[in-house]
């Protein structure tokens, strides 16, 4: 499914030694850490958790079935299916029958979904522009897609 280069991120020159998988896992950990500071129901977005995990397992050369996604999302079967359908309608994921067991349905990122995740992770961590080269984790810069890469020097009025 995924080549070694893809899993390690070496097919993308902007990574500067940091794998996309490591960035995805770091982002997942940040989401987990949110629950230590905020009520879970306030910052709950299972679609985002699903996308992160689908990206990470694809980079590892694995896949998830609907049942696996139910465990990740923490939602009911109906709620999980709604999230999957919503992601599928947005053309971010694709459902496929498991070739070894046609009773199971695999869910994988579409090419559009994978490209969106790569773009988001690179933007979030500004990979290639100011990536660290040591063992320290890369620090997120912005959680807003298409936001300015550097904070403005002064505050602006809303008018």
Which pTM does this prediction carry? 0.65
Contact 83, 46 (CB under 8 A): yes
Q: In the chain, how many domains are there?
A: 1
**pLDDT at residue 70, as a whole number:** 94
Query: 103 in a domain, yes or no?
Result: yes
Confidence band, pLDDT 50/70/90 cuts, at residue 95: very high
Contact 119, 127 (CB under 8 A): no
Read off the CATH number of the domain in which 21 is found: 1.10.10.10
**pLDDT at residue 30, as a whole number:** 78
**pLDDT at residue 1, as a whole number:** 41
Tokens coding 123: 């933007």
The arithmetic mean of pLDDT across residues 135-145, rounded, is 52
Q: Does residue 143 register a pLDDT over 50? A: no
Query: 138 in a domain, yes or no?
Result: no
Query: 132 in a domain, yes or no?
Result: no
Query: 29 in a domain, yes or no?
Result: yes
Query: 32 in a domain, yes or no?
Result: yes
Query: 81 in a domain, yes or no?
Result: yes
Count of residues making up the chain: 159
> Within 10 A of 118 (CB to CB), how many other CB atoms are there?
20
Phi, psi of 138, rounded to the nearest 5 degrees: -70, 135
Range of the domain at 51: 4-125
Whole-number Å distance between alpha carbons of 98 and 104:
6
Q: Does residue 27 register a pLDDT over 50? A: yes
Query: 20 in a domain, yes or no?
Result: yes
Residue of 15 and 37 predicted with greater confidence: 37
Whole-number Å distance between alpha carbons of 72 and 51:
10
Query: 78 in a domain, yes or no?
Result: yes
**Which residue from 5, 47, 16 is spatially nearest to 122, judged by alpha carbons?**
16
């Amino acid at each position: 499914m995924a080549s070694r280069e893809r899993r390690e991120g070496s097919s993308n020159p902007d990574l500067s030694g940091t794998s996309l998988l490591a960035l995805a896992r770091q982002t997942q950990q940040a989401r987990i850490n949110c629950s230590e500071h905020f009520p879970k129901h306030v910052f709950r977005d299972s679609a985002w958790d699903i996308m992160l995990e689908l990206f990470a397992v694809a980079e590892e050369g694995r896949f998830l079935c609907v049942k696996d996604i139910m465990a990740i999302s923490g939602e009911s079967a109906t709620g999980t299916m709604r999230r999957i359908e919503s992601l599928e309608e947005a053309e971010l994921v694709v459902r496929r029958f498991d070739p070894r067991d046609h009773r199971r349905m695999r869910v994988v990122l579409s090419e559009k979904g994978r490209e969106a995740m790569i773009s988001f992770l690179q933007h979030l961590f500004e990979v290639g522009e100011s990536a660290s080269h040591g063992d320290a984790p890369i620090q997120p810069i912005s959680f807003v897609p298409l936001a300015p890469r550097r904070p403005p020097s002064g505050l602006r009025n809303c008018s």
